[in-house]
Amino acid sequence: MNTLLIHDDDQGIRTITLNRPEALNAVTEEMTTELSAALKEAAKTKSVRCLVLTGAGRAFCVGQDLKTLRDSAEKGTPMDFAAALRQRYNPIIERLADMPMPVLASVNGVAAGAGWSLALAADLRIASDKASFVSAFSKIGLIPDSGMTQTLTRLVGPSRALEIAWLSDGMSAEHARQWGLVNQVVEDARLGEATTELARRLAASATKALVMTRRAVRAALGNDLPAQLEYEAQLQGAAGATRDHQEGVAAFLGKRAAVFTGE
């Protein structure tokens, strides 16, 4: 991999680090190809119980590499934006939304454009107090993409989503936390440690139940109550048949800590 670093610890955490620090981890075609492959691989690796996405250097990710965009336009082969989104960006966002384990974005620095969309596609976000967020799309005459019009709107509502998207003002990590866009903000020096702490808790949980909970929470935004109750019943039927459910009950009754395996 040229644009990513991938690291597994011994407790079920796989960390994918966007690794073009010299370009603030701006997204190239190679990066989308590699990230797609890395997510596919993580999805089929049973031992991965929590996936962490982060960036190398001072940025998380600043979205599409605008220098590459300019270079291809100058060469007379301008990027087809709709095709780039359909073929490269959107599959990444869809895959992230449906990973068979929790996905945590550890936002180490600025997240802009599709870089912010990527962080929003994770289940939870933990950020350094030095991180910042900027939509940036409006500044280059574009609309927010890679899912941002949906993820952002669901988190902050339409009025704030428009304010963020239209004005493209930088937002501090603390402001993002207050608006529900980030779950935790920690001192920059503690980001690695705090990310590992949270990721370990998630990795040690009943993975299948966490993933089904994500499905139910997402569906809740579109379902009426009877449909949601029915969906919960279906998912609980499946959760109740997992080994981790049996283990959880046995551990509770045996007054010991549960040892979940993700099965």
Which residues contribute to the site for ligand LHQ (CB under 6 A)? 23-24, 26, 62-67, 81, 84-85, 89, 110, 112-114, 134, 136-137, 140, 142, 145
Q: Which amino acid is at 226?
A: P
What H or E segment, with its residue span, contains residue 42?
helix 29-43
**Residue listed under structure tokens 């301008």:** 78
For ligand LHQ, the nearest residue by Cβ is 63
CA distance 255 to 185: 34
Nearer to ligand LHQ, 191 or 198 (CB): 191
Smallest distance, ligand LHQ to C-beta of residue 15, A: 22
Helices 158-167 and 148-156: crossing angle in degrees, nearest 10, is 130
Smallest distance, ligand LHQ to C-beta of residue 51, A: 21
Smallest distance, ligand LHQ to C-beta of residue 262, A: 34
CA distance 122 to 102: 8
Smallest distance, ligand LHQ to C-beta of residue 14, A: 24
Nearer to ligand LHQ, 123 or 145 (CB): 145
Q: What Rg value do the Cα atoms of the chain yield, rounded?
A: 19
Nearer to ligand LHQ, 34 or 145 (CB): 145
Closest CA to 120 of 142, 144, 138: 144
What tokens appear for 163 in the block?
């304010």
Nearer to ligand LHQ, 86 or 243 (CB): 86
Q: Which amino acid is at 180?
A: G
Q: Can you tell me whether residue 133 is helix, strand or coil?
A: strand
Smallest distance, ligand LHQ to C-beta of residue 31, A: 11
Nearer to ligand LHQ, 170 or 240 (CB): 170
Nearer to ligand LHQ, 83 or 253 (CB): 83
Contact criterion met (CB below 8 Å) for 262 and 206 = yes
Nearer to ligand LHQ, 85 or 251 (CB): 85
Q: Which amino acid is at 22?
A: E
By CB atoms closer than 10 A (0-12, 13-18, 19+), residue 115 is buried
Alpha helices in 123-242 (DSSP H): 148-156, 158-167, 173-178, 191-203, 207-220, 225-239
Smallest distance, ligand LHQ to C-beta of residue 202, A: 28
Smallest distance, ligand LHQ to C-beta of residue 132, A: 7
